[in-house]
Structure 1
Amino acid sequence: MKKVILFLLVSVLIIGCKSETTTDLTNALIPKPQQIEVMDGTFTLDNKTTLFADQEFEVVANFLSGFLQMGAGIPMEKASEETAQIKILKDAAQAMEAYSLIVSENNIIIKASDASGAFYGVQTLRQLLPVFFETQNNIHNQTAVIPQLKIQDAPKFPYRGMHLDVSRHFFPKEFIKEYISYLALLKMNYFHWHLTDDQGWRIEILQYPDLTNNGAYRDETLIGHYNENPQLFDRKRYGGFYTQEDIKEIVEFATKHNVTIIPEIEMPGHAQAAISAYPELCCNGKDVKVATKWGVFENIFCPNQKTFAFLENVLTEVAELFPGEYIHIGGDEAPKVQWKTCAHCQKLIKEHNLKDEKGLQSYFIKKIETFLNSKGKKIIGWDEILEGGLAPNATVMSWRGTSGGIEAAKQKHPVIMTPTSHAYFDYYQSENSDEPLAIGGYLPLKKVFSFNPIPDELDAADSKFILGAQGNIWTEYIATKEQVEYMVFPRILAMSEVVWSGPSENLEEDYANFLLRVEPFLERLDALRVNYANHLYEIEGRVLKEDDKVLYELTTPTSGKEIRYSLNASEEKIYKTPIPISKDAVIKARVYKVGKVLGRPFTDTIHYHKGILGKVHLNVNPHASYSAGGKEALINGIQGSNSRYGDKEWLGFWGDDVEISIDFPEETEVNSVALRFYNANGQWIYAPKKASLCVELLDGNLVSSEVAIAPKNDTTIVEVLLEFEAVKTKKLLIKVPSFGMIPEGSQGSENNAWTFIDEVVIK
């Protein structure tokens, strides 16, 4: 990333009913411009400032005028190009979506070749203004002083998106517009609107009124987490939908904010809400209700003429409502159980020479694509649409890691990267136990910022098919707009920087710079009344091993803070260097700034066992979504959460047989190895059926031990103890075979089970 020349905050002065603000907010621009040069001098924006815009930028000019009028009572009257102080001008030399912004003593000039670039120039100007401009003020005739500068800016990726699921929980149209406005502020240009699923159909289709009369409402909703046993329900009817007039209003709002909406109509799976309204769309034709809990359901669309006629009629109305080029058709998590026993489906497989039911899904998707192409639309699907053969013109949204995107790019198909490892904002963002209930996982701000949408496996030619990336918000456990905001912010800031400014080339340096801009940017979010999550003042601890010694390091993300800690209830002291650990330890710490406590208190417990100084090796790497602690997490003396598999201590493996080799630094006597596995079948996580241990003796002989594992379904933490007579060794090997495929009829059937392993405790 290029260097930014920054000025420091100068001053803020407010006098009576007229205020003048002198400030430099170049150190709070997000996403970071590609080039910025700050110069001496300022420009004064006041109620005498006038505006000129070339005709094709009229919508952009209206946005700026409205923003200044609402936030500061500045009328921003129009003037000629010669006399206006703010000019938004056409410049054919600028690239698509690019802009230049020049602030001099006498004027502000934004140049762009298209309306998108002009709009982004205005968003940068907006961020250079004091944060009180974001609120509707009663004080008029306010004045802002902006530093003179030159900015040349353009996005790294053409697709910069955010997703919102309104099927699991419904959000009113006014919040949808707020959400879109947040994207616009951060120069994100696509809103992926997940409108249908098993738990609710949210879009009015005039030809099929029962989709909303019936399919938009469920009888009750699951309380607590899916894995809790017994499952409890609130016994309250829940639902809602957007009328076509609502959608037209939202589309118009999005257009004015330079955001394209991509509607998602799920098929062939995640269709139970639609089937509840029209049972003939399912292979067995049986009545079903709108789903009341989360997960994957076997009731999927049957690939018959009734279904295709229904979907074509639905998509015709959808295509007329949304002017963008894309319609998302889902394609994910579609169990083929009913297709396997459906005579019509089996006949189709034979008639069209399809390999199996995956081939039938490919046939289904290709048929829908042909129809939508005839309507001038392109399809996007989740990476499962690769199975059985990719539709000719499809764009792939890669969510199960990046492998699907890599495969699609090599097939010369456009790709949007949105892997669970870096883009699922419904995952926990902090390890604090008081975080709001979430689906699972662990995705802190830094990991989002570290994302590179272009995988190393792609060469320069295939990399061109990566359009960009998006963050996803699935709402099984997100019922209010406040909680949506909490899960989105500030992670959306990191994603916006990835897709606009480009991936980091020096993570530690760039992330530190990013946080320096996030901290003041939070004041703008305060002005916008966004309920963001503030983890900037939390403490992170980790075990270090140096020269056969164990140390414990404490850090906090932002600079200029002081950490104070206590070890095993000792008196609190200022943290300066990593803390030596030679026995079981409890560390407590807090962050201070000028003597004031910031953030939450921190506590960690280290169990000093015989393996803590060992070296650990794995035959396979943990999945990128569940590898935050790295392989060292297995023997660092820290136990993972008993209620959340998404933290730095749990390592997740998807379908892999895992071998853990531990080398001791010296001859060590051992007599037991304790293992912990997470077991949450509703989340596709299964404890293994067995585990084995092989200890290599000093004379080369081996001591082996094996244990069968058969946990009850409601057991979340499975503890396994491998015991044997005390022996001396320098090496041991633990084997943990994968559970295998998830059984038919269970959540995630037809997929590999996950294995989650915690601390290996050696005694």
Structure 2
Amino acid sequence: MKIQLYFKLLLITFFLGCTSNTSKPVAVKIIPKPNHLKINEGTFILNENSIISVDEEFKEVSEYFKNYVLEKFEINLPKDNGGHIIFEKDEELINEESYELDITENFIIISAKTKKGAFYGVQSLLQLMPFETNKTSIAIPCVAIKDAPRFSYRGMHLDVSRHFFSVNFIKKYLDLMAMLKMNTFHWHLTEDQGWRIEIKKYPKLQEIAAFRDETLIGHYSDIPHQFDGKKYGGYYTQEEIKDIVKYASDRQISVIPEIEMPGHSQAAIAAYPELGCTGKQVKVATKWGVFDEVYCPKETTFQFLENVIDEVVELFPGKYIHIGGDEAPKTRWKNCGHCQNLIKKEGLKDEHELQSYFITRMEKYINSKGKKIIGWDEILEGGLAPNATVMSWRGTNGAVEAAKQKHDVILTPGSHCYFDHYQSDNENEPLAIGGFLPLEKVYSFEPIPKELSKKEAKYVLGAQGNVWTEYITTPEKVEYMAFPRAVALSEVVWSKKENKNYKDFIDRLTYFFKYLDAKDVKYANHIYDLKGNLVNKNNKILYELSNITDQKIYYSLSDENMNIEYKEPILITNTTTIKAGVFDKNKQKLGQTFTQNINLHKAVGSKITINVAPHKSYNSGGKEALINGISGNNKRFGDKEWLGFSGEDILITIDFNKPENIKTITTRFHNGNGQWIYAPESLYISFNNKEEIKFPVENYGELLVNFKESFDEKNIKNLSIRIPNYGIIPEGRQGAGFKAWTFIDEIIVE
């Protein structure tokens, strides 16, 4: 304890004691996990006699804490020079976001170099306070914490263009970020489907670009597309934006606006058609995807964007403007005389370099306003703008490339940071864009790619969770999709790598849910979900069940009564259905019932080889997933049973444990063309290394394409299935010009 605190001790002239209405001290389970934490004996009693003493620099933070205590517990904390709750400046702390929190029976001392650090000390303190609000005295456990973040950029994103959310909800979102010590809010404000920021110089952006005629119903992959016929939209006035930015700043959160360019700009072009290459009137997009309408790199377009930026920079005091730069088709540019002349005039190689020219020019203007740009990793294509920060979303390759060029990078790969993906393989999960990103995978994320040297790794600023809202229509669903995955990410970007432990995190998260309950957050709770895995061990087919908690598992085989305690892997001798659940000590079921159908067909347990590895984002089950007796999800195609291949021809070989007689071969493909996934038009089968036989794939227009063929083959030792890739996606479709993906499910041999 510092010398001045001893002097303050002399100023304490009254007794702080427990009353009959004192809360019980809470468990010490802080998220994100502090770097150094020691739990000591005793409690500090906070009540109306507790006095706050504040360094002037931390006045705003102390007011935040004082208002929290007043609103939650109706305890009005007085202020004085001598106090029991002390906000103290400590210049010796190196990191501006670091803090020390010392709680003894007599004092709470928050030491920090800046108000950011003091604020984070308060957030840890609030997690040491109870959930109930009917107490006049609050018992706070005595701890000593020394803490600092691992990364300087700790972000959450929210897309308000696909679906619009109120000012009040944005503030709630910011409050939840603040709890988690997140410091950056990436606000996605413009898109093909809606322009959400008031620009006074261009009123048609509010009148036209902010509203679409109707909205797609169901999933983009559903054929035919259906629409609701209802006008939809809205925008934030500049006064509302100022209010939100101030609210965020009070919580030490910087707001980064995203103003998309040159792609994802159909809404703006709908308002001002001269911004496009054709000059023709278009409408604000009513469905999702990537559209050909992009800004034409004309002087009038640059003047428009510069005028927009002039108003944007006045609203957002942070150092960054996000300019998008992703998914900008070159179709219009290829057919535009002005664009082709500009390519020749500037000595550019192609349309990709034209995009780099576009981004570099806008970066120069934004830099002149004292701001830096961030762009999605497509801004690397054609050459990276000189001072740009890259946000790497298509895996980590963009981050590696940019860091090696000595550019700052922020990691937000779809594989670990896209919270619009499904988080459970339960078929009753609410509709999402696709993919599969469970909580554990978020927690496992390592933001520094292994390809970077220690010197290059310094360019990694941190990571961000993204919430795209094509299929997220309400605040409640935003919360469901974002939490608790955002909680896991907060620990990824704050806590030391060596301090992370998923089982320990789950223990603390179970407790943290009480804080989310108190804030009426409609989070997803999959903690008690079971995992299942079929294994072949010593020529026996076994099914393993597991759960991250320490609760017991009970199961049944082909009936509803889960009365067998799970103690070891279940022997599978025939086709069966396993039902299982997690139960507490009173045998009350926690969470949902786990159901798994197992089809013990002839290929289960055989050896399988594939000529190419599935894409790492769609290979969680490994190649054995194709012959493990378990079919993939009927509604979603990113679970561990579906394997995804990016553009390759596939050759699958199954070597049976003993010669088999084969009557049928059944499999199925996903045909989600809106997600660049195409079923093959035919496949080739051979037995015992003999000549291939070609078979057409039926029902080609369906979302799920089934293949079933009958045979009369005897004494088959091996089976080969060759699946040609669909090829290049045609013009006019999503992903045009790129090779299609192939998604395949269980290969059933009977």
TM bucket normalised to smaller: over 0.9
CA distance in 2, matches of 1:555, 1:728: 38
CA contact (8 A) 2:186 2:256 kept: yes
Offset, 1:724? 5.2
CA contact (8 A) 1:422 1:625 kept: no
Aligned residue runs from structure 1 range 51-66, under 5 A: 51-66=52-67
- Matches of 2:96 and 2:400, distance apart in 1: 26
The residue aligned with 2:177 is 183
Q: Secondary structure at the match of 1:665?
A: strand
Q: Tell me the equivalent position of 2:535.
A: 544
Is contact 2:651–2:721 with CA below 8 Å preserved after alignment? yes
1:11 is matched with which residue?
A: none
Q: Counterpart in 1 of 2:5?
A: none
1:217-366 paired onto structure 2 within 5 Å: 217-366=211-360
1:384 aligns with 2:372: no
- SS at structure 2 position matched to 1:254: helix
Distance in 1, Cα, partners of 2:447 & 2:381: 22
Classify the secondary structure of the residue corresponding to 2:735: coil
CA distance in 1, matches of 2:545, 2:289: 38
- Do residues 417 (structure 1) and 411 (structure 2) align? yes
Superposition RMSD in Å: 1.9
Tell me the distance in 2 between the aligned counterparts of 1:731 and 1:184. Answer: 58
CA positional deviation for 1:272: 0.7
CA deviation map 1:155-176 (0-9, x unaligned): 1111110000000000011110
How far apart, in 1, do the equivalents of 2:401 and 2:652 lie? Answer: 30
Distance 1:142 1:574 in 2: 46
Q: Name the amino acid aligned to 1:274.
A: A
Q: In 2, are the aligned partners of 1:89 and 1:109 still within 8 Å (CA)? A: no
* Aligned-pair CA distance for 1:389: 0.8
Q: SS at 1:297's partner residue?
A: coil
Deviation at 1:605, TM superposition (A): 0.6
The CA deviation string for residues 500-519 of structure 1, in whole angstroms up to 9 with x for no partner, is 1144687xxx1111110111
Residues 637/61 of structure 1: CA separation in 2 closer, same or farther (3 Å cut) = same
Residue aligning to 1:199: 193
Q: 1:404 to 1:618 in 2, by over 3 A?
A: farther
Report the alpha carbon displacement of residue 523 of structure 1 after superposing the two structures with TM. 0.8
Which residue is 2:694 aligned to?
A: 706
Q: Which amino acid aligns with 1:429?
A: Q
Structure 2 CA distance for aligned equivalents of residues 103 and 677 of structure 1: 59
1:735 is aligned to 722
CA distance in 2, matches of 1:407, 1:731: 43
Equivalent residue for 2:27, pick from 25, 32, 48: 25
Q: Which residue, 733, 748, 752 being the options, matches 2:735?
A: 748
In structure 2, the gaps of 5 or more residues are 1-17
CA distance in 2, matches of 1:211, 1:504: 49
Contact 1:743 1:749 in 2 (8 A): yes
Letter in 1 for 2:339: C
- What is the rounded CA distance, in whole Å, between the counterparts of 1:563 and 1:502 in structure 2? 36
Letter of the 1:176 counterpart? I
Counterparts of 1:105 and 1:490 in 2: how far apart (Å)? 33
Would the alpha carbon gap of residues 18 and 91 (structure 1) be closer, same or farther in structure 2, given more than 3 Å must change?
Answer: farther
User: Does the CA contact (< 8 Å) of 1:706 and 1:722 recur in 2?
Assistant: no
Is 1:630–2:647 an aligned residue pair?
Answer: no
Work out whether 1:448 is the aligned partner of 2:436: no
1:652-698 CA-partner distances (Å, limit 9, x unpaired): 22223333333333444445543321001112111123323344x3x
In structure 2, distance between residues paired with 1:635 and 1:413? 45
Q: Which amino acid aligns with 1:702?
A: K
Which letter maps to 2:329? P
Count of residue pairs brought into register by the alignment: 732
- 1:571 Cα deviation from its structure 2 partner: 7.1
Residue identity matched to 2:335 = T
Identity of aligned residues (%): 53
8 Å Cα contact 2:427-2:634 kept in structure 1: no
Contact 1:163 1:471 in 2 (8 A): yes
Instruction: Work out the CA distance in 2 between the residues paired with 1:505 and 1:548.
Output: 40
Alignment partner, residue 588 of structure 1: 579
Offset of 1:18 from its aligned partner? 6.8
Q: Is the alpha carbon distance of 1:188 and 1:738 closer, same or farther for their aligned partners in structure 2, counting shifts above 3 Å?
A: same
Of the candidates 598, 604, 615, which is equivalent to residue 607 of structure 2?
615
Please give the residue correspondences for 1:398-417 in structure 2 after superposition, counting only pairs within 5 Å. 398-417=392-411
Secondary structure of 1:255's counterpart equals helix
Q: Which moved more, 1:583-592 or 1:571-580?
A: 571-580
Find the aligned partners of 1:191 and 1:504 in 2 and give their Cα distance. Answer: 27
CA distance in 2, matches of 1:657, 1:464: 39
Does the 8 Å contact 2:427/2:635 carry over to 1? no
Q: SS state of the match for residue 21, structure 1?
A: coil
- Structure 2: distance between partners of 1:333 and 1:608: 44
* Secondary structure, aligned partner of 2:109: strand
Instruction: Give the alignment's TM-score, normalised by structure 2.
Output: 0.94
Deviations 1:725-760 (A, max 9, x none): 524344443332322322111012233322111112
Q: CA contact under 8 A between 2:699 and 2:706: conserved in structure 1?
A: no
Partners in 1 of 2:697 and 2:346 — Cα distance?
A: 45
- 1:105 aligned residue: 105
CA shift, 1:116, in A, is 1.2
Q: For 2:727 and 2:128, how far apart are their aligned partners in 1?
A: 55
Q: Tell me whether 1:598 sits opposite 2:590 in the alignment.
A: yes
Q: Work out whether 1:459 is the aligned partner of 2:453.
A: yes
Cα gap change, 1:173 to 1:707, in 2 (>3 Å): same
- Identify the match of residue 420 of structure 2 among 419, 423, 426: 426
CA distance in 2, matches of 1:483, 1:571: 32
Shift of 1:569: 6.2
TM-score where L is the length of structure 1: 0.93
Would the alpha carbon gap of residues 93 and 592 (structure 1) be closer, same or farther in structure 2, given more than 3 Å must change?
A: closer
Identify the residue that residue 3 of structure 1 maps to in structure 2: none
Whether contact under 8 Å (2:262, 2:325) holds in the other structure is yes
Letter in 2 for 1:607: N
CA distance in 1, matches of 2:443, 2:723: 33
SS of residue paired to 2:742: strand
Q: Which residue of 1 aligns with 2:69?
A: 68
Cα distance in structure 1, aligned partners of 2:634 and 2:547: 25
| Distance change >3 Å, CA 518–CA 281, structure 1 → 2 | same
Q: Which amino acid aligns with 1:74?
A: I
- Sort the Cα spacing of 1:148 and 1:254 in 2 relative to 1 into closer, same or farther, 3 A: same
SS of the residue 1:741 aligns to: coil
- Per the alignment, residue 639 of structure 1 pairs with 631
In structure 2, the CA distance between the partners of 1:568 and 1:536, relative to structure 1 (3 Å rule), is same
**How big is the shift at 1:306?**
0.6
In 1, the alpha carbon distance for the partners of 2:402 and 2:737 equals: 22
Query: Structure 1 stretch 735-744 or stretch 84-93: which is displaced more?
Result: 84-93
Q: Which of 165, 172, 195 is the equivalent residue of 1:171?
A: 165
Aligned mates of 2:385, 2:462 — CA distance in 1:
20
Q: Cα 1:117–1:276, aligned 2, differ >3 Å: closer, same or farther?
A: same
Q: Structure 1: any 5+ residue segments left out of the alignment?
A: 1-15
User: Residue 34 of structure 1 corresponds to which residue in structure 2?
Assistant: 35
1:575 paired with 2:566, answer: yes
Cα separation, 2, equivalents of 1:546 and 1:562: 22
Give the drift of 1:253.
Answer: 0.3
Residue type of the alignment partner of 1:465: Y
AA partner of residue 102 (structure 2) = I
Q: Measured at CA, do residues 117 and 570 of structure 1 come closer, stay the same or move farther in structure 2, by a change above 3 Å?
A: closer
Secondary structure of the structure 1 residue equivalent to 2:21: strand
Corresponding residue for 2:115?
115
- Preserved contact between residue 693 and residue 722 of structure 1 (Cα < 8 Å): no
Post-superposition CA distance 1:628-652 (Å, at most 9, x none)? 2222211111111222112221112
Find the aligned partners of 2:257 and 2:269 in 1 and give their Cα distance.
19
Separation (CA, whole Å) in 2 of partners of 1:341 and 1:50: 71
Amino acid at match of 2:448: I
Q: How does 1:64-143 map to 2 (within 5 A)?
A: 64-80=65-81, 82-132=82-132, 137=133, 139=134, 142-143=136-137
1:189-224 per-residue CA deviation (whole Å, 9 max, x = no partner) reads 010000000110000001001001111011111111
Q: 1:648 aligns with which of 628, 640, 655?
A: 640
SS in 1 for 2:533: strand
TM-superposed CA distance for 1:50, in Å, is 1.1
Work out the CA distance in 1 between the residues paired with 2:296 and 2:648. Answer: 33
Q: Which amino acid aligns with 2:721?
A: I
